[in-house]
Structure 1
């Protein structure tokens, strides 16, 4: 049995891991590599032949785990894609949105070439809607904690991982030439007591773990709850300063958790009413999927629904649908909260809100998630005094803030605890992926101190298990 890390090796995005059992090839995740954003077609270089992959297992819907699936299908993959039911529904939304972003960038590039009288044609989108539909047709859904036979020698079980509705860790029980071996792929590990989502479930005993390391060496703020943190920021920005708070948030996952917390704040009377705009059609569609799979939200959200009604609806909350209505939000001069995607500011309506507010001294932009290197969000958090938005260089006068209380990733302690349930004498190795090199090294050091063998794989290097 052989493991090869083809994505998220010593970086955060582009998760893609190949497990080969004899001649049978299993791909775990097939994510888009954001750190190659300058040339998305580098994502076509898989490092293996797509038609040789027998099956894909998808841990969750986020684009850095699912976003290259249509490319895989377009280039010859012809097998099934196994995932949980919420993951199938949410992934379809995200992949369709990716097509829109690709097309917008291609059109922008064409306009630039015409303006500068370049005759050469620009790069085409990585994939189109028909490739997404071909991909969606391959989804086969499996519930949590229900062993599923992929072949006579390979059994799959999805373990709840928190992080996002439907997110799973993958446990594969393999008969490798008469020897039983168990390999776990954590996907992205969530946090305990996260709004809307259930807590991650511990992994069963395994022989090998491929673990994410996003927050290795970093610890989340624990002195305040999500609600307390948001109450303080909203009180300062919207109540005392009468300004506007812009929150870039992923339409799927982060927005639903954020809306639920705002619902609790305003329905309890903890703060005076403030207008809230959720400006993302995809967020509205994702919220419908959360309602569809309401049996998988956490007990707190279910109890709120049973006693107070829909956790994703409240007075003064408006889901903005049309582009015309989105533009009208800029003409709303009362204090307000604008939640819009994308979370890393790469595309989406959030760029319009930034364009009109980045030079507004009474605006605060609050980041509630990770921003990968090379993204506009990363540049703002880095403190760049001037940023390029919608073909213009704009000075940054708005206040830039960040909080990790709504990060859906477990921190260093959470990652360690996810592995420490394993007996170090029986767990043969932990392979660290999906993290910056410094984060992986910190987590590796802590694991080795605890008696575990930790490996930080290089991209494309194979390991015999």
Structure 2
């Protein structure tokens, strides 16, 4: 049995791991690599032949785990893609959204290229047809229900929080007469996260491939989500007649945020404030959260039984079309605007920033990670002038950040995932999906606890 880490090796994006069991090739995740030194088109340069892959296992829907599946299918993959039912629904939405982003970039590059002879046109990595071909290959499996890939390989998805439908892939394998087991965590969630259940313990395995995003970092514990929101909304929208803009990923982060605001306003902890959710993708994905309501946590169920829909309340408006989105700039009362994308690299959030970044009465609250090089990162590091929509604009708005809505487990959570393993059985821990500093911090902590750890290089293979 051979494991090769083809993506998210010493970096965060592009998760892709190949497990070869006596010639049967299993690809775990197939995400887009967003590292700045790579073009989007470079994602089609697979280090293997797509048609040689027998099956794909998808841990969850986020684009850095699912976003290159249509390319794999376009280039010849013909097998099944296995995931949980919510992951299937959310993946289709995110992949379709990716196509729209590709097409918009292509259109923009054509406009820029009209004046230049040698301008290179940005071509879409894949189209809607390829997404539909990908969805035709998906087979869904419920949590904690063993599924036999072959006579020698059994797959079970274990809930890990992080996102609706996210599951660690646990494989039990008869490798030429020897029983072996390996788990791929995907992304690990945190405990007590709004809407989602806590991660479930992964059963004992021989090998563990685990994410390390928050290695060496710890989430804030001095305030609750509700306390931070109350303080921010009160200052931005009540004590001052301003507006609060919250960049949030449409799937997962937005639903947790809306639910938290619902709890605050329905309990009378703040006077009513108009809330706009400006993201068609958020509106559609919220329907998936309603569809799979049984997978939400006990607190959300209790709220639903007592007060109704977690994702609907007075003064909340979901914005669908672009015309209504642009009308928000003409709303002069205090308000909260929740819009994608979380790192400010695209989507309607750029329109809201364009019109509000120079507004002294505007607060921008970041509730998630912003990768280096993104507009979000530049604002968080304190740049006084930023480039938005072909203009340099001075930053007069107040910039704030909280990590309480991060859906990733922190250093302690990641340590606990490994510590829950049987130390006498666990042969190796592979750290993926993290920057080098985070991986190193987690590796040192695990080695101190006498766990065998490897930080794999991209493309290296390991005999298991």
Q: TM-score, normalised by structure 2?
A: 0.98
The alignment status of 1:49 with 2:49, answered yes or no, reads yes
The residue number in structure 1 matching 2:253 is 254
Cα distance in 2, alignment partners of residues 153 and 464 from structure 1: 18
The residue number in structure 1 matching 2:242 is 243
The residue number in structure 1 matching 2:105 is 105
Q: Deviations over 1:129-180 (max 9, x none)?
A: 0000000111100000000000111100000010000000110011111111
Q: SS where residue 239 of structure 1 aligns?
A: helix
Q: Deviations over 1:253-295 (max 9, x none)?
A: 0000100000000010001111100000110000011111111
The residue number in structure 1 matching 2:138 is 139
The alignment status of 1:294 with 2:300, answered yes or no, reads no
The residue number in structure 1 matching 2:414 is 415
The alignment status of 1:83 with 2:97, answered yes or no, reads no
The residue number in structure 1 matching 2:459 is 460
Is contact 2:212–2:434 with CA below 8 Å preserved after alignment? yes
The alignment status of 1:62 with 2:62, answered yes or no, reads yes
Q: SS where residue 89 of structure 2 aligns?
A: helix
Cα distance in 2, alignment partners of residues 99 and 333 from structure 1: 34
Is contact 2:105–2:122 with CA below 8 Å preserved after alignment? no
Is contact 1:36–1:42 with CA below 8 Å preserved after alignment? no
5 Å-filtered alignment, 1:370-409, equals 370-409=369-408
Q: SS where residue 339 of structure 1 aligns?
A: strand
5 Å-filtered alignment, 1:438-457, equals 438-457=437-456
Is contact 1:13–1:434 with CA below 8 Å preserved after alignment? yes
Cα distance in 1, alignment partners of residues 462 and 100 from structure 2: 38
The alignment status of 1:27 with 2:27, answered yes or no, reads yes
Q: SS where residue 318 of structure 1 aligns?
A: strand
5 Å-filtered alignment, 1:208-227, equals 208-227=207-226
Cα distance in 2, alignment partners of residues 38 and 327 from structure 1: 33
The alignment status of 1:187 with 2:186, answered yes or no, reads yes
Is contact 1:35–1:372 with CA below 8 Å preserved after alignment? no
The structure-2 alpha-carbon separation of the partners of 1:349 and 1:414, relative to structure 1 and needing over 3 Å to count, comes to: same
118-127 or 151-160, which deviates more: 118-127
Q: SS where residue 197 of structure 1 aligns?
A: coil
Q: SS where residue 73 of structure 2 aligns?
A: helix
Cα distance in 2, alignment partners of residues 75 and 221 from structure 1: 44
Cα distance in 1, alignment partners of residues 316 and 350 from structure 2: 21
Q: SS where residue 150 of structure 1 aligns?
A: strand
Counting matched residue pairs gives 464
Unaligned runs of 5+ in 1: none
5 Å-filtered alignment, 1:308-457, equals 308-457=307-456
Cα distance in 2, alignment partners of residues 426 and 75 from structure 1: 39
369-378 or 299-308, which deviates more: 369-378
Q: SS where residue 330 of structure 1 aligns?
A: helix
Q: SS where residue 88 of structure 2 aligns?
A: helix
Query: Deviation at 1:396?
Result: 1.8
Query: CA RMSD, aligned part only?
Result: 1.1
Q: Deviations over 1:104-127 (max 9, x none)?
A: 01111100011x233655131010
Q: TM-score, normalised by structure 1?
A: 0.98
Unaligned runs of 5+ in 2: none
Cα distance in 2, alignment partners of residues 195 and 454 from structure 1: 32
Cα distance in 2, alignment partners of residues 424 and 396 from structure 1: 52
The alignment status of 1:205 with 2:204, answered yes or no, reads yes
Cα distance in 2, alignment partners of residues 65 and 399 from structure 1: 33
The alignment status of 1:151 with 2:150, answered yes or no, reads yes
38-47 or 81-90, which deviates more: 38-47
Runs of 4+, deviation exceeding 6 Å: none
Cα distance in 2, alignment partners of residues 284 and 37 from structure 1: 33
Cα distance in 2, alignment partners of residues 121 and 418 from structure 1: 46
Is contact 2:109–2:120 with CA below 8 Å preserved after alignment? no
